[in-house]
Amino acid sequence: MSYSGAVPTARSRAMVRETRHLLFTVAPGAFWIFIFLVLPSAYLMGVAFMTNGPYGLPQMPLSLDAFERLAGVGFLGWSPGNLYTLLRSLWQTLVSTVLVVIVAYPVAYYITTCREKWRPILLLLVVVPSWTNQVIRAFGWMNLLAPGTPLSSLAESLGLVAPNMGLYPSNLAVTLGLVYNFLPFMVLPLYAAFEKLDTAQVQAAQDLYASPVRAFWHAVFPQTLPGLLAGTVLVAIPAFGMYVIPELLGGGKGMMLGNLVANQFAGSSNWPLGAAGAILMLIATFIGLFAMRRIGKRLGGGEEVVI
Amino acid sequence: MRKRTLARGLAGIWWVTLFFLYAPLFVIVLFSFNSANSTAVFENFSLAWYRRLFGNEQIINAFGNSLVLAVSSSIIALVIGCLIGYGMYRHRHRKLGWLIVLIYLPIVLPDIVFGISEMTFFVQIHDWTGLLQPGLGTMIIAHVTFQIPFVALIVYSRFVGLDPTLFEAAKDLYASPIKRVVHFMVPTIKPALISAFFLSFTLSIDDFVISFFTAGPESATLPIYIWSAIKKGVTPEINAIATLMIGAVAMAAIFSMLFNRQGRR
């Protein structure tokens, strides 16, 4: 290469130095994430379009077999198993998110009504259980709900479950586990919203003889909406992809999408099918994030929600 | 009158929720001291399960693996994440959208997709080259990948909070860039470095799903050991080890409470 004689100006030299600095600081981490996450995810997506080989490993030629299998098309015609799993994931996500919201609202509000010096401690009390490992927390619920325990006996005597069956494994146990797991993630953003609440609006509503329900709906709810949306992102998206809780508490009939995906890489191996499930999960995640962002922006409380 | 019932109702919900949050943990602790081999009926107080625990070589190995994994991945992530955090700050006026996307990717990716991507990739690379045998090495790689963003964001936000003229002053004071890093940069962001390290450490110790999919036969961590023990059949021994882990968390909670108090004084 020959230099054409142009002397680099001081400014362009500074630019080069800055760019070198940028590369030096950012490149190691960017490379790390690119090589150890972007490439693997791209590879996984590719696997979804390959054919299932004899040992469950991906093979050429490219095909859409995995997606057909995911939709329930097998050697013996169509079966609804996978579709049920998918619907169950959506249903569990919906139910547990709604339950978490119902519990988190009064709890978050209660904390704001306490004296200021107690509030951090009360918040800590809500958060601390989630610091223990999620496997251990699910195990705690297995202990509580197993056949022969007081809770199970109570449910049996009320005729809610068949004798000697216990409350776990069941879909109910999975819902409970999800609510337990994600409650703090809703309480924290709601608490932040309640702390900033403009009480004058609530007062005004009460002065105008609004019923408590209407006062809540028109004066409190809109103000806490950003917190609610942030909490929903933190609860619903990870709940949809949950693996540990349905695996431990749900049994065969409580399987969710995460278990369907994981199983394809373990016992009943079928990598392309698992990869197709993973793509579905990714699509759901990004649709969820995008929708929350849109809603947040439209309602003008977007900053807290934007990820 | 109505206000009072509302306040009472709220307090009632609070206590029920607290009970709901702590009951499963309490049951684990209680039954770890059970003399009978049961997680439903409590017979007598005994430390038998703890004695068995300390004789169990697998558990001690798993504990060692957890620690080695958490410490080494946190150190690597701290170095790499700090560099990114500083680069993001120094060049914040440039268009770095691609970098932001790259950094948020490990955070938004569902755990299971993250773990399976890594696993399939490692297996395939191992097939082709013989490198990346599943074990502590692959686990460290995976953990560093999800720790980097947290370190980078913590360090970045610390830099953003600083007075920009400080950097000019440091430039005047110390001629060599190395001296600037040692005498200015590191001391000023020390709190961020400490909290980034502890967050990385906690994320690593607490992780199950990603470790589970990247682990080899010899590199089970504590959560993986507990998982496979549960799958084999519930025993009070699991209660004992879980109790020790709950105890560690309780200690951390007490420390953070004291720390909070001191911070506000």
**CATH code, domain with A176:** 1.10.3720.10
CA angle in degrees (0–180, nearest 5) for A30-A31-A36: 105
pLDDT of res. A211 = 80
Instruction: Confirm whether A218 is domain-assigned.
Output: yes
ipTM of the shown complex: 0.89
Q: Which residues contact B131 (CB under 8 A, 6 or more apart)?
A: B125
**3-state class of A51 per DSSP?**
strand
- Does residue A126 surpass a pLDDT of 50? yes
Q: How confident is the model at residue B62 (pLDDT cuts 50, 70, 90)?
A: very high
Q: How confident is the model at residue A266 (pLDDT cuts 50, 70, 90)?
A: confident
Q: How confident is the model at residue A307 (pLDDT cuts 50, 70, 90)?
A: very low
pLDDT of res. A267 = 67
Residue type, B22: Y
CB contact under 8 A, A124 and B256: yes
Q: Which residue has the higher pLDDT, B233 or A300?
A: B233
Q: What is the pLDDT of residues A165-177, one digit of tens each?
A: 778 788 899 999 9
B208 and B223 Cβ atoms separated by less than 8 Å: yes
Into how many domains does chain B fold? Answer: 1
Instruction: Confirm whether A147 is domain-assigned.
Output: yes
Instruction: Confirm whether A101 is domain-assigned.
Output: yes
Query: Residue A186 is part of which domain span?
Result: 80-304
Provide, rounded to the nearest whole percent, the portion of chain A with pLDDT above 70. Answer: 92
Query: Residue B149 is part of which domain span?
Result: 56-264
B257 touches chain A (CB under 8 A): yes
Q: Which residue has the higher pLDDT, B20 or B44?
A: B20
Residue A111 to residues A100, A114, A226, B8, Cα–Cα distance (Å): 16, 5, 18, 13
Instruction: Confirm whether B19 is domain-assigned.
Output: no
pLDDT of res. B265 = 47
Strand partners, B15: none
| Angstrom distance (rounded) from CA B80 to CA A114 | 43
- Does residue A77 surpass a pLDDT of 80? no
B25 touches chain A (CB under 8 A): yes
- Does residue B145 surpass a pLDDT of 80? yes
CB < 8 Å from A in window 61-120 of B: 80-81, 83-84, 86-88, 90-91, 94, 99, 102-114, 116-120
**3-state class of A73 per DSSP?**
strand
Instruction: Confirm whether A164 is domain-assigned.
Output: yes
pLDDT of res. A145 = 87
Nearest CA of chain B to the CA of A35: how many Å? Answer: 10
Into how many domains does chain A fold? Answer: 1
Instruction: Confirm whether B2 is domain-assigned.
Output: no
Instruction: Give the least confident one: A266-280, B39-53, B235-249.
Output: B39-53
Cis peptide before A169 (omega within 30 of 0): yes
pLDDT of res. B69 = 96
User: To 10 degrees, what angle do helices B2-32 and A171-195 make?
Assistant: 130
CB contact under 8 A, A243 and B112: yes
Q: Which residue has the higher pLDDT, B250 or A64?
A: B250
Instruction: Confirm whether B47 is domain-assigned.
Output: no
The b-or-e profile of A234-249 (16+ CB within 10 A means b, else e) is bbbbbbbbbbbbbbbb
Q: What is the count of residue pairs from A and B with beta carbons less than 8 Å apart?
A: 233
CATH number of the domain bearing residue B151: 1.10.3720.10
Rounded average pLDDT over B176-185: 84
- Does residue A164 surpass a pLDDT of 70? no
| Angstrom distance (rounded) from CA A259 to CA A254 | 9
Rounded average pLDDT over B162-185: 83
Instruction: Confirm whether B50 is domain-assigned.
Output: no
A241 and B113 Cβ atoms separated by less than 8 Å: yes
pLDDT of res. B70 = 96
| Angstrom distance (rounded) from CA A61 to CA A53 | 10
pLDDT of res. B148 = 96
Nearest CA of chain A to the CA of B165: how many Å? Answer: 18
CB contact under 8 A, A275 and B120: yes
- Does residue A44 surpass a pLDDT of 70? yes
Q: How confident is the model at residue A302 (pLDDT cuts 50, 70, 90)?
A: very low
